[in-house]
Amino acid sequence: MESLILKYKSLGIADVLHYEKFNLISISHHSTKIEGSTLTELETQILLDDGLTPKGKPVNDTLMVTDHFKALHFIIDKARNKTAVTTELIKEINSYVMKSTGGIYNTILGEVDASKGMFRKGNVTAGVSYFPNYDKVERLTNELVLSINSQMNTDLSIDEKLNLSFDAHFNLVSIHPFYDGNGRTSRLIMNYIQAFYDLPLAIVNSEDKQEYIQALIDTREKENIEIFRSFMKNQYEEYLKNEIKKFEDSFSSKSNKGFSFLF
């Protein structure tokens, strides 16, 4: 993995004009598609690059994508400024994710506005997964934050930095602290840690949604974090190899064929 990252960086892929923007668009596309967005990657690109709303697609899907893109820029800015991970930061990330689509939940303990990054006040399930009781959410999230910061204050290898980002992703989504947006928020925390260490940002490919969910389930049932780490490392390795290949093929094609006008 380390050699792949070094090759990715040595090629200067991230320095190509507009590369970061289109890479972030791709992250937003895949992360929201996992959660049900119907926008294609091209529609996502046109929406975020030109501000043009795709015809015939639900407004909610468009809002989900634009909110995620803003959240992604938010975490990158925080990471570049070396902002510490806190419970409030996690809540703020979720508020960006859910700003336009979060609803109001009325519970016996009071109202929860999902658009403001408020912790849930009720118990939730997703598929076959049951998540911790609502009264444990704040304590578990605080403990996760302490664990992340404790590790970030040590000298980590590249593999350890990646594992930290993958583990934070898994642990936050397994706490499920919010009524909605837990997956997107957890993937953004993963990206935050990667950006903090100036590593390429991981993308969970939406085409692998079933395998992604299964990896989360298997990791919880078997209490073996290596299952989720292995899934994420495969995603990360595939992404880096594809980016390197696209970059090298592009320059190889240009040098061999030259440029010709098409009329």
pLDDT at residue 2 in the model:
87
- 106 SS3 class: strand
106 is in an annotated binding site: no
Say if residue 185 carries a ligand binding annotation.
Answer: yes
Q: Which of 170, 226, 161 is nearest to 194 (CA)?
A: 161
187 annotated as belonging to a binding site for a ligand: yes
DSSP letter for 56, please: T
Q: Cα(41)–Cα(60) distance, rounded to whole angstroms?
A: 16
Structure tokens at 90: 């996690």
Residue 231 in any domain: the answer is yes
The verdict on residue 72 lying in a domain is yes
Does some domain include residue 6? no
Query: Does 180 show up as a binding residue in the annotation?
Result: yes
Could you give the number of structural domains in the chain?
1
Structural domain contains residue 167: yes
Q: Quick check: is 251 in a domain?
A: no
Nearest to 74 by CA among 182, 195, 167: 195
CATH number of the CATH domain containing 119:
1.10.3290.10
Contact between residue 35 and residue 65 where contact means Cβ atoms under 8 Å apart: no
Helix (H) / strand (E) containing 112: strand 110-113
Given this model, what pLDDT does residue 249 score?
81
120 is in an annotated binding site: no
- DSSP letters along 119-158, please? PPSS--EETTEE---GGGHHHHHHHHHHHHHHHHTS---H
Per the annotation, does 181 bind a ligand?
A: yes
Query: Per the domain annotation, does 261 fall within a domain?
Result: no
Residue 259 domain flag: no
pLDDT means per 10 residues, the chain with 263 residues, are 89 77 94 97 95 94 98 97 97 98 94 97 85 96 98 96 98 97 98 97 97 97 97 97 86 58 60
Residues tagged active-site: 176
**Is residue 5 in some structural domain?**
no
Whole-prediction pTM: 0.93
Rounded to a whole number of angstroms, the CA Rg of the chain reads 19
Q: Cα–Cα distance between 5 and 106 in angstroms, integer?
A: 47
Domain that holds residue 110: 13-242
